[in-house]
Amino acid sequence: MNAPDRYERFVVPEGVKKVSYERDTKIMNAATFTVEREDHTIGNIVRMQLHRDDTVLFAGYKLPHPLQYKILLRIQTTSQSSPMQAYNQAINDLDKELDHLKNQFEGELAKYTRDY
């Protein structure tokens, strides 16, 4: 009867921002990103991509509670970069990686269907 609608798991409610950003007040170049209605799928790939970045000193994510449909992503960088820059870079790199993956897959699929 009082069960929340199922779509609440993946539809961002009105008036809520998909991504919000909060700087750490005590540590330089550290910030927490709150990403609404996302889970391990996004959290883990962004974290792993950030780990490849040399300017990133720390990157971690958590899903605070299974019924709170958001993730917290925490980034600390060196003074050469900023959390925001590192975050944008990670997303751009992942996007390009997926473009490449898509082309690879389509190419291989065409090759496969031609050969067999």
Partner 1 sequence: MDGVSYQRFPRIKIREVKHDYMKFELRDTDSSIANALRRIMIAEVPTIAIDLVEIEVNSSVLNDEFISHRLGLIPLTSERAMSMRFSRDCDACDGDGQCEYCSVEFYLRVKCLSDQTLDVTSKDLLSSDHTVVPVDYSDGLDNATNKGIIIVKLRRGQELRLRAIARKGIGKDHAKWSPAATVTFMYEPEIYINEDMMESLTLEEKQELVDSSPTKVFAIDPENKQVIVVDPEAYTYDDEVLKKAEAMGKPGLVEIHAKEDSFIFTVETTGAVKASQLVLNAIEVLKQKLDAVRLSDDTVEADDQFGELGAHMRGG
Binding residues for partner 1 (CB under 8 A): 6-7, 9-11, 17-21, 23, 35, 38, 40-42, 44-49, 52-55, 81, 84-102, 104-106, 108-109, 111-113, 116
Least Å distance, CB 91 to partner 1, is 6
Cβ-count burial of 27 within 10 angstroms (0-12 exposed, 13-18 middle, 19+ buried)?
A: exposed
Least Å distance, CB 24 to partner 1, is 11
Least Å distance, CB 79 to partner 1, is 13
Of the pair 57, 84, the CB lying nearest partner 1 is at 84
